[in-house]
Amino acid sequence: MPKFSFWLCLIIAATFGIVVNSIENEVKIYWIYQGNTTMKLTNFGARIISLVIPDKNGKPTDIVLGYDCVEDYLNDKTYFGAIVGRVANRIGGAQFTLNGSHYKLDANENQNTLHGGRKGLSQVIWEAEGRYADDEGLPLTFFYTSRDGEEGFPGDVLVRVTYSLNPKNLRVELEAKALNKSTPVNLAQHTYWNLGGHNSGDILSDEVQIFASNFTPVNDQLIPTGEILPVNGTPYDFLKSHKIGSHINEKGHLLRNGYDINYAIDHEVKQKSPVSGCGCGFQGDDGERLKLAAVVRSKKSGIGMNISTTAPGLQFYTGNYLKNVKGKGGYIYQAHAGYCFETQGFPDSVNHPNFPSQIVKAGDYYSHETLYEFETK
């Protein structure tokens, strides 16, 4: 049981350029800012609590869903703002076989595993480390060691996430090292965005473009069938920018009250990733290429966001299951109050040899970087 203190509704740590060291087992809130862009995070689940940027009229706008108090995240079922893993997304039947060994995982959604199980990375306290600001903005780093057998997964895994904020972008670097056994690793950032403002109502009129010609269809429990099919002719086709709501009610496509589907991102190269923000110990993948995965824009605020990533997949989720969730400032989130663009590997890869592998061999590293670029007009 994490130790929570009374001050958790207050901003207590980390202004620009100050080193922050966490006390083990304590939940804290961290505040970082660059120009008029400010961000709040917590080491509980390495979560983003808020990201405030000026809208087209200069009004500060919080574009991520969340709660006022960190305590609210303890019983949270939405994964608001969290890093999810050790294996993000679903694993069918809560099991897999690796090199002849069979692993039974924690089944936390029907008979399947979702986002690493009941006590996945989103539900644990991470250690935090702040750094002095440099030209790349202030990185805030969270660490966690996932132990052998945690939620059923093999071997100890050291996980690290680095958030680097700039006035016009946020870089998220996810890294892991399999310390002593081979294990699947698939990490994702699970922020629910609403570029019109977290309390601006549904996102159905926002325009989205997803640079993916193919997607991985799912069965009625949202487990991939193993096929990789063209989006062409389906409501999953976002190759041309259009309103999220325009095909959301089309019948016969297993659209359950909205999108919750993995896209295979096309391999168009966008830009070379600059040298990683921290370069501290982990085997860097500096220069690994980021692909533009999605572009989203809100007419309400004029805020747009480009998402580029090194990951092969993008889970597009339109907050379908939000219902009467009491969020920041007492605002009640309902279905479609936000969208998630979860860059990651494909769901249930451990059970589909034709999907890109998520196995990290003992002693090897995992890394995944995503850049969120903001533009207001």
Output the known binding site for beta-D-galactose.
Answer: 89-90, 190-192, 260
Residue 119 found at the interface with ligand NAG (CB under 6 A): no
Compute the least distance from the CB of residue 16 to ligand NAG, in Å.
12
Compute the least distance from the CB of residue 19 to ligand NAG, in Å.
24
**Known catalytic membership, residue 190:** yes
**Known catalytic membership, residue 342:** yes
Pick 158 or 228: Cβ nearer ligand NAG: 158
Of residues 190, 198, 336, 352, which has the active-site annotation?
A: 190
Task: Kindly state the number of chain residues that form the binding site for ligand NAG, as judged by CB under 6 A.
Answer: 15
Residue 58 found at the interface with ligand NAG (CB under 6 A): yes
Residue 228 found at the interface with ligand NAG (CB under 6 A): no
HEC string of the chain equals CCECCHHHHCCCECCCCCCCECCCCECCEEEEEECCEEEEEECECCEEEEEEEECCCCCEEECECCCCCCHHHHCCCCCCCCEECCECCEEHHHEEEECCEEEECCCCECCEEECCCCCCHHHCECEEEECCCECCEEEEEEEEEECCCHHHCCCCEEEEEEEEEECCEEEEEEEEEECCCCEECECEECCCECCCCCCCCCCCCCEEEECCCEEECECCCCCECCCCEECCCCCCCCCCCEEHHHHCCCCCCCCCCCCEEEEECCCCCCEECCCCCCCCCCCCCCCCEEEEEEEEECCCCCEEEEEEECCCEEEEECCCCCCCEECHHHCEECCCCCEEEEEECCCCHHHCCCCCCCEECCCCEEEEEEEEEEEEC
Pick 156 or 342: Cβ nearer ligand NAG: 156
> Between residue 291 and residue 350, which ones bind ligand NAG under the rule CB under 6 A?
295, 306
Residue 286 found at the interface with ligand NAG (CB under 6 A): no
Compute the least distance from the CB of residue 223 to ligand NAG, in Å.
23
Q: Given the rule CB under 6 A, which of 5-13, 16-24, 174-182, 245-253 is the region that contacts ligand NAG?
A: 174-182
Residue at shortest CB range from ligand NAG: 182
Catalytic positions are 190, 342
Residues of this chain that interact with ligand NAG (CB under 6 A) are 35-36, 58, 99, 148, 156, 179-180, 182, 295, 306, 359, 361, 373, 375
